[in-house]
Amino acid sequence: MLRIWDGPRETVFQLEVFESGRLVVSGPEDVEGTLSTDAAERLFELGTLAFGDFNSQGCEPWRKGRTHAALYVLIDGNWAGSLCRGSLDWPEGAGAQTHRLLDEISRHLPNGVRLPVEF
């Protein structure tokens, strides 16, 4: 699950990908669909790799930062997650895995549905 918001309780975009391939997007436009097994596994892999970006330089809180995002993955029945709150920029760890994750997500969204971030 990837959740992006502007302020407290103000979700702008939420994406959920299930092991079955089910894709649920909540935001300005709600979308549901089914991904191939390969696509779902790729998003899971990229999501897991992106944890490091959230805990590194580029996700440091600032007083007027407006980037808020949470990334959670269910691994073997346990939730793992990372949070980026009040940052000036989108998380940009050494591997820039978050950018790869967002790029891959964009490939699976219907035309006209866009992520609320620039990358």
Condensed to tens digits (0 to 9), the pLDDT of residues 83-95 reads 777 766 666 654 5
Residues 18-31 have a mean pLDDT of: 85
Per-residue pLDDT, 11: 65
Per-residue pLDDT, 49: 83
Per-residue pLDDT, 38: 93
Which residue did the predictor score with more confidence, 63 or 39? 39
Q: Is the pLDDT of residue 66 over 70?
A: no
* CA geometry: angle 107, 112, 115, nearest 5 deg: 60
Q: How far apart are CA 103 and CA 109, in angstroms?
A: 10
The secondary structure of residue 109, as a DSSP letter, is S
pTM value surpassing 0.85: no
Mean pLDDT, all residues of the chain? 76
